[in-house]
Amino acid sequence: MTAILPVRRLDPDLLGQAVRAAANWLDEHNGASREDMGLRVLKVVEEAGEAAAAWIGVTGQNPRKGHTHSYADVAAELADVAFAALVAIESLNGDAAEELHGVARKVLTRVGRTEVPS
C-alpha cells in the first residue's frame, strides 16, 4: 500500500526569503558570472540524481545495498531539487514565484480547470 504524505501549506514569505538569501549568499561566496549561473542550473541536476538514488534505495534495485531509503527520504530529496531550481531561477534574475504561478496556471488549464487564477 502506498503511503500518503500529509500536505502542509507552504509559507511563501519564508520560502521567498530563503530562496533570495541562498541566491545572494552564493553570489557573495561563489560569484555571479555566467559560469556560476550555469553551475546553479547543474546543481538542480545533481539534486535530481540524489532523488533518483533515494528512489532506487526505496525499491531495493541495487542488490548490493538492498532497501536503504524511505518515501520520506525521496520526498526530502525532491524538496532539495525544487529549492535548487528556485534558487537557479532567482539567480538568473527571474522571479521564482511568478515562474511557479505561471506553471501552476498552465497545469490547471491542461487538466481542465475552468477557473484559472490570473
pLDDT at 44 over 60: yes
pLDDT at 2 over 60: no
Q: Hey, where are the domains in the chain? A: 32-110
Instruction: Please report, for the chain, how many H helices and E strands are present, in that order.
Output: 4, 0
pLDDT at 6 over 70: no
Name every residue whose Cβ is closer than 8 Å to that of residue 90 and which is 6 or more positions away in sequence.
19, 20, 22, 23, 96
pLDDT at 117 over 80: no
10 in Cβ contact with 83 (< 8 Å): no
55 in Cβ contact with 78 (< 8 Å): no
Q: Which is higher by pLDDT, 101 or 115?
A: 101
Query: Once rounded to an integer, what is the mean pLDDT over residues 76-101?
Result: 95
The pLDDT assigned to 113 comes to 81
Query: Once rounded to an integer, what is the mean pLDDT over residues 87-102?
Result: 93
Average pLDDT, the chain: 91
The pLDDT assigned to 92 comes to 95
Q: Is the whole model's pTM more than 0.75, yes or no?
A: yes
The pLDDT assigned to 47 comes to 98
Query: Once rounded to an integer, what is the mean pLDDT over residues 18-26?
Result: 97
pLDDT at 5 over 90: no
